[in-house]
Every structure is written in C-alpha cells, then in structure tokens.
Amino acid sequence: KERDEVVISNAAIELYSEIPKPKKKAPAAKAEGAAAPSVPVSADIFHAIGTFLADNSATVEKVQKVFQFQLTGPDSVWTVDAKGGAVGEGETQKPDCTLALSDGDFMDMCTGKADPMKLFSTGKLKISGDIMASQKLSFLKKIEPQRVADAMKARGGGGGGAAPAKPSGPLSGDVFLGIKAHVAHHPELAEKIQKVFQFQLTDPDSVWTIDVKTPGGAVAPGETVKPDCTLVIAESDFLDLTSGKADAMKLFSTGKLKISGDVMASQRLSFLSKIDPAWAREQVAKMKAEGAAPTAAAAPKASREAETPALIAALKAALEKNPGLAKEVDAVVELRVANPDSGWTLDLKNGSVNEGLADKPDCTLTVADEDLGALARGRATLEEMFRRGQLRVDGDVAVAKRLGLLGKLLEG
C-alpha cells in the first residue's frame, strides 16, 4: 500500500485458469528420445505478452510505460515495453517500473496460485520506480491462453521438448585456475595489493580464496586464509562477469553480487582484467594434464551462524529496559540483512522490534549480517560502514543520522 491505497491491485493477473496445451498434431513418427509435452516457462509468458502488445496498439497507446521484470532462481530479466509495443529479454529500454520476484512466484502469480498483494506484502514481490504504474499491468488479464500455447510450440516443437540445454562453457574452477596461473607468474601482485579475497559461489556452492597478500600469492579452493573482502555471487553470474557478458557494477546494484568486509578492497581486483584469456586457457590445460587442482567442485563454504537474531534479541532487551531510547530516533526503520537474508521492522516510534519488512518505513538500511555483527562489537560505526559501501540507506537520511544510537543499543 501507499498512502493507504492499494497500488499494485491487478499488477499481475491470472493469464489462464489451467495450463494451456498446444493443439494436437497429426500422428507422426516419434523422434528418438523425444520428451513429454512441457508446461509453460516464464519465457513463454513474456513471448505471449509480446505478441499481444504487437497486435493491440490501443493498449500500447493507453499504457505508455516500460516495465522490467527481474526474476531469480533461475535469473532472467525481461523488458515489457508498453510504450513501443515490444517485449525482449534483458534491459532493452530504461524501465519506468521494476518488479523483482522469483521465477517460481512469477509463474504461480500468472497461473493464479499466488496473490500479487500477498507476495508484495511479504516482500517476495518488490516494486521500485514508478510504483503507481504497476496498476497499468491490468492489461495482462486480456491475454488469450492460446498465445502462451503458441509460444510453447515455438519453443519446443509443439510444446514437446524442454528448453535446449545451455552450451557448455568453462567451469568456475577453470577460471580460478587461470587466476592461479596469473598470480604465480606475477608474484609482485601480493606486495602491491595486500588483500585476501574470498569468492562464495552459489548454484552450485563453492568457495575460492585469492590470496594476494601472502608473499608470492596463492589461489585455492576453500577458505585457506581469513579474507579481507568476501564476494557472494551465483556461479552463472560469475562466469558472465569474467567473460565480459555482465557488468560488475550492475550485478552489485541489483543485488546479484554482494560484497562484505573491506568493500573498497574489491576495486583492487582490477588486476583480473589484465589476464590474457588465450594464455590462461593454455595454462589451465597444462595444469589439468598434470593433475594440478580441482576445476569444478571446490570446497563447500563453511556454515556460519547468523549473528542478526542474537543482535535483535539484544536490541529488544535494551528497549524493554529503557523504552525512552526509541524516542531519540522516533522513526520506523526497515532493516534488510544479507547473507543470510532476513528482514526486520524497528519501530522506534513505539519501541517495538518485529521480524518482517515494514509497511511504510521512514528509512531502510541494507547491510550484511557479518557487518552488522561488526557494528554490534564496536568495530565500526554506521558512518564508517556507509562511507565504505557496507551500508546502504534509502528513505529519510536524517533518520539514518540519528541511528548512531543503534550501535550503542546493540553493544549493550
């Protein structure tokens, strides 16, 4: 809600009451290894929206907005350009309104299994930019199920086969072996950079340490040395990043790349851009032939207990002991914690703390669990964390300035 009015009513509408099935074809010789008929995937939905907009210029003239859908698990970005009447994968136009949710929730929403208002209120659907524009997505209810079925046909030959497998490419382990070779050939890097980086990859999970602090430097799977800077990213995004298909700043700003610890140190990873890809491939092939190191499954990351729950408990206790402390802030603060993810509402108007995202926060803080722990132990201040990029502040910055109290409360 915004200003006590529902702003995303009908933002995502059921496109069909049951899974559409392509029309039956005349019997034909069954191809060897042919798959069973598939169900729609998110790409089918967007292709159906695209054909609808292309055929309905009146809708385009009426809506005149560009929407970007950022889906996760698997990750994809789609632009619904209801200004120009086109839909495309990726950011084809600067969006007026951005909607972020998981691929599964998007499909559930389109098939009527999930309610958009509930997804929004529970933080599973996040809307940014021109929030009121999301109301104009009501045109989706006019899309005929047959358009989805046609998209399935185009994708899998009558809806039969699954989406084609992605072409094989280098594994993340190969990339780190290439970095290992480069560091070994340039021992001066350790003296120059003086930092240890840990990459925590997901889907599948693995951890790699790039040590350019210890004399000579080293690259190895697992946490071999305590890192100065930790980078968390999906393996597919990491491969896109290292191949030049993805931009590091864009991944960071969209939350696909999370950095904790000494955030500024990540700038020193610029040395990676100097690695010659052809030379690196030769070195990796040579190391593999010699049985040098694992190239696919690195050591799994060690489980780390989240610090936030204990800190929230300490904050609650401090407020119960001295309710007047909350009035020093006198605002509702939304605390978004990453790695592991959690959300909290700090109602410092009424002196209460609850799990879940705030309805109408005055200020939103986004911080990594590990960095929040450092704040609680007095190793950093909110101002220092903001300056180093470890803390993001949205909303009323004046509230954030009054939150110096938060560190004191957590310490207590």
Yes or no: is domain 172-289 CATH 3.30.2010.10?
A: no
Q: Does CATH place domain 42-156 in 3.40.605.10? A: no
Average pLDDT over residues 338-367: 86
For residue 29, what pLDDT is reported? 42
Written as one letter, the residue type at 115 is: D
What strands lie across the sheet with 342-347, from one edge to the other?
352-355, 342-347, 332-338, 363-368, 391-395
Token look-up 């001295």 returns: 322
pLDDT of residue 292: 55
Average pLDDT over residues 88-117: 86
Alpha carbons within 13 A on the beta-carbon side of 171: 16
- Work out the percent of the chain whose per-residue pLDDT is above 70: 80
- Where residue 25 falls among pLDDT bands split at 50, 70, 90? very low
Does 393 or 16 have the greater pLDDT score?
393
CATH superfamily of 308-411: SCP2 sterol-binding domain (3.30.1050.10)
- How far apart CA 47 and CA 151 sit, in angstroms, is 6
Q: What does the pLDDT average to over 42-66?
A: 90
The stretch 56-63 carries a mean pLDDT of: 88
pLDDT for res 33: 41
Considering the chain, tell me which residue range(s) the CATH 3.30.1050.10 domain(s) occupy.
42-156, 172-289, 308-411
Q: State the chain's mean pLDDT as an integer.
A: 78
CA–chain centroid gap for 286, Å, is 35
pLDDT reported for residue 212? 92
pLDDT at residue 46 tops 90? yes
